[in-house]
Amino acid sequence: MNTFVLPDLGEGLTEAEVVRWLVAEGDVITIDQPVVEVETAKAVVEVPSPHAGRVATRHVPEGATLDVGAPLITVAALDSYTEEERAGSGNVLIGYGTSPGTGSTRKRRPRESPILMSGPSGASKVVSPLVRKLARDHGVDLSSLIGTGPGGVITRKDVEAGRSRVPEKAEGTERRIPLSGFRKAVSAVLTRSRAEIPEATVWVDVDCTGLWELRQRTGPGLMSYLARFVVAGLRQYPVLNARIDTERQEIVELDTINLGLAVQTDRGLVVPAVMGAQAMTTTMLDAAIRDVTARARRNESTPAELTAGTFTLNNYGALRVDGSAAIINHPQVAMLGIGRIIDRAWVKDGALTVRKIAQLSFVFDHRVCDGGVAAGFMRVVADAIEDPASALAQL
């Protein structure tokens, strides 16, 4: 028997939550085959087995939090198989025994299989036995849920979200939801940010009509242009692409701009970074942003992407709001946000007209600069948005 413990996943992480088992007890696995999907404070990752053989024991259930070094799975070596198990074709497939009629009379207990069901959209969605049990235990109607997993599969998180909408049976009761490793990490970062950073915020309404029209004529998306203008602003005000060394009481300006992008996912808000944004054209930024955000929504961001950001760009408009008093993503020192772009009455060239207007909000660490620098950076970005053709010609 070989017992595999939860390995050190790096980045100083000490625990992980078991999201989904990829193998069942009794399955035959190979070396380096992924056996479980775990969620750390920074990413969802698949953990491969260093052993080959038959899965004897899964030591923890889905949803459990496991410390690094704690037993994860026990695998029986293939040499321990009985002659009865070796009989027949010898091709032991995952989830199956040897071929019937070849000398083996051993019978397996059939494993409960996932089922197909029709949801609100009318699409069939695979529901695993564990998810069905969770739904039964908490009185959640699976047919009322919309699956967020691959192909519309209903996941544990979908059931938990549905559970929060189920009315309590009696007044005065309460429901406690344990913080996941991810929420614990978010809590720690935001609490530290609020405790350490003296934040200040400035905002300005900008006329996005020219940028909107440019977007209609060209391929890159709005966020790629905004990213390009942010890079231009950070080049002019490099103190905003920095961190503070509190021990040495120094502001550390960074040459590389790893542009963090706030992305809402089914596990919460994450901020993966486009690495080396200062060296990218608008078209390159567009491709990088689409890739980074798509992988983030699939929970495929790497720990490095989630921790490398040096400045954050936050599109509040995607949530259909106009602005936010954001919290800086420690250890960064600033964040720029843009709200939804809406038609509003606007005075242009002395005449009242209808333009596409959005609000920019900029939160910064008052230790690294004063309002003049913050306002200067904001005007670089705002002026570029209002006259994108001229701005791009000078970049």
Which are the catalytic amino acids?
Answer: 366
What distance in Å separates the CA atoms of residue 129 and residue 109, rounded to the nearest whole number? 15
Say how far apart CA 206 and CA 213 lie, in whole Å: 15
Quote the tokens at residue 315.
């599109």
Q: Judge contact between 282 and 220, C-beta under 8 A.
A: yes
Angle at 176 between CA 170 and CA 182, to 5 degrees: 150
Element (H, E) at 4: strand 2-5
Which pair of tokens denotes residue 224?
Answer: 């790629």
Coil/strand/helix, residue 314: strand
Q: How is residue 154 written in tokens?
A: 């209903």
What are the strands of the beta sheet with 65-67, ordered from one edge?
44-48, 34-39, 15-21, 65-67
Give every CB contact of residue 68 below 8 A, 6+ residues apart in sequence: 5, 6, 7, 8, 9, 13, 14, 15, 16
Q: How far apart are CA 264 and CA 224, in angstroms?
A: 18
Contacts of 182 (CB under 8 A, 6+ apart): 17, 39, 40, 41, 42, 267, 268
Q: Quick one: CA torsion of 202, 207, 209, 211, rounded to 10 degrees? A: -40
Which residues are CB-neighbours of 308 under 8 A, at least 6 positions away? 258, 273, 275
201-235 in b/e burial notation, b at 16+ Cβ within 10 A?
eebeebbbbbbbebbeeeebebbbbbbbbbbbbbe
The C-alpha atoms of residue 280 and residue 274 are separated, in whole angstroms, by: 10
